[in-house]
Amino acid sequence: MKMNTKAKRFFQWVLFLILGLSIQLFLFSYEKEIKNISQELAQKIGEAGKKTVAIVDFNDLQGNVMELGRFLSEELSVAISASGKGFEVVDRLHLKALLKEHKLSFTGLIDKKSTQKLGQIAGVDALITGTITPFGDSVRVTVKILDVNTAKLIGAVTANIPKTKAIEELLERGIGDGFQMDPGGTTTSTRSSWGKTVKVDGFICKPGVCRRKEKDIICSVSLMNNGSEDREVKILADRNSDTGLVDNFGDMYWVTVKIGGREAGKGTLSNWIIAKFPSKVFVNIQLIAEDVNQEATHYTGIICIEGFKKLVAVQNIPVVK
């Protein structure tokens, strides 16, 4: 039995209404959790008598920083600043510049000596760190307040944030490994995800190594066609694309892309990649960045390929001699 026009319109209207209410419910729940977290943190900071605080990027349990961690840090930074509890929040861009100047990283994996050093250079007496743990329909966020002189826990807040499509996309965007700051101001990688391959749109992408050439860096990434038919790959190499390198300090560099003897710093660079049968054939792609930070220990290679649904992001490509 066919549905008449009025019934169809009514059915569509009901679906639209349900969808709209679902989206509003998710947004309300997210904003409510952010507000609750910020209010509890502000209350604990005020009770501890702290006057200046800094918020670093949140990471997962392995110490890896992701876009969601950076996003939540920014959201809470703004929310806590507006609390009016008698303390100041250091601007995160200013904090990042200070850390870079002193060759320190910008993540939540911090020990006693690191917090003391951070307190000295940034003029803060409390530090806010956080971890993110994805579950089925939600993301568990644990936020801690540390005394910069002792690294002791002043207070902590936990919350569950609904896992919307936007949250899932941010979860998938890693921006590098977690790093600990040592007393000498150098960074030491946790090496929790070095050498991992990435699968995207029927291709397998494998990290190589990065080598310095004077002030430049050359990072290699191997791409293999995992399908049964040959395919042409067109890499977008201009500055309007997202192709580039990101070092472990979070700084991004525009790159020249090189395949074999051909290279491109703008436009596209195309190459046919034969299917894996009868043999596995990897094509080596070089990402070359100029005037990079010589203290970087590894890079994330980001390749924008025409027609791909997602960016190809190969994390933690180590710098070798």
Question: C-alpha angle 110/116/119, rounded to 5°?
Answer: 100
140 DSSP β-pair partners? 133, 160
Backbone phi, then psi, for 119, in 5-degree steps?
Answer: -60, -35
Element containing residue 70 per DSSP (H, E)? helix 67-81
Query: Would you place residue 59 in the very low, low, confident or very high pLDDT band (cuts 50, 70, 90)?
Result: confident
Question: Worst-scoring range by mean pLDDT, 21-35, 53-67, 240-254?
Answer: 21-35
pLDDT at 70: 84
CA torsion, ordered 221, 227, 228, 232, to nearest 10 deg: -60
Residue whose pair of structure tokens reads 């600990």 in the numeric block: 180
pLDDT digits (tens, 9 = 90+) for 120-169: 888 888 999 888 888 878 888 999 999 988 888 899 998 888 887 777 77
Check residue 39 and give left, alpha or beta (phi > 0: left; psi -120 to 50: alpha). Answer: alpha
Residue 216's pLDDT is 94
pLDDT band at 318 (very low <50, low <70, confident <90, very high): confident
Distance (Å, whole) CA 4 – CA 9:
9
Tell me if 271 sits within 8 A of 232, measured CB to CB.
yes
DSSP state of 266: S
The closest alpha carbon to 142, from 153, 151, 152, belongs to 153
Question: For the chain, which domains are there?
Answer: 15-186 (3.40.50.10610), 198-320 (2.60.40)
Please name the helix (run of DSSP H) or strand (run of DSSP E) that holds residue 223, with its range, or none.
Answer: strand 216-225
- Pair 176, 160: CB distance under 8 Å: no
Q: How confident is the model at residue 106 (pLDDT cuts 50, 70, 90)?
A: low
Mean pLDDT of 78-98: 81
Of 84 and 57, which is predicted with more confidence? 57
